[in-house]
Amino acid sequence: MVWHQALDETLKWVKSHTANALTLINLGLGCLAIIFVLHMQPGAAVFLIALAALIDRLDGMVARKLDIVSDFGKQLDSLCDLVSFGLAPIFLLYTLALSEFGITGIFFSMLFVACGAIRLAKFNIVEFEGYFVGLPITAAGVVLTISAMFADIWSGVWFLILTFVLSFLMIGPFRLKKM
């Protein structure tokens, strides 16, 4: 009887932390992507950021499906998203294209991360009504990541413009329906 009760409690605990575990995997993938950028392996970083986006999609689905949505999970998800879709993509793009612009490249990189942080903070304090206000950081980060694959082809100025536009789209007042 005691064994059965302990098993039930353990299963409840595992269920309650499943989405958060996926969120932490997202964070780990974002951190690994940054490490691969630092080791000049951009292809691996692109793959890891894409995988983080897939896991990010799953964590919310799992939380809703298992009815384990929580304020803690929402905050944790935002912090992890800032790393995986803010820092990792801009590290990648800075290394491949923006560094040639010196302080301007640094400024635009910081702008992207700052706007992503503002976007996530705003999202966390409003009630979700089926739409996002501003471009989600996941989408902005994935666009930057995909664009980085063209760093050898496109002009560096294109990446400055793209970074600027995505930064302001994240904090823009427009609404996007959740897909």
The string of pLDDT tens digits covering residues 68-126 is: 888 999 999 999 999 999 999 999 999 999 999 999 999 999 999 999 999 999 988 88
Q: Which residue, among 95, 90, 86, 71, has the nearest Cα to 138 in the 3D structure?
A: 86
Give me the residues paired with residue 176 across strands: 132
| Residue 65, domain extent | 2-177
Q: How confident is the model at residue 127 (pLDDT cuts 50, 70, 90)?
A: confident
CA pair distance 172, 119, nearest whole angstrom: 9
The string of pLDDT tens digits covering residues 29-80 is: 999 999 999 999 999 999 999 999 999 999 989 888 988 888 999 999 999 9
Q: For residue 162, what is the domain's CATH number?
A: 1.20.120.1760
pLDDT of residue 8: 72
Which pTM does this prediction carry? 0.90
Quote the number of domains for the chain: 1
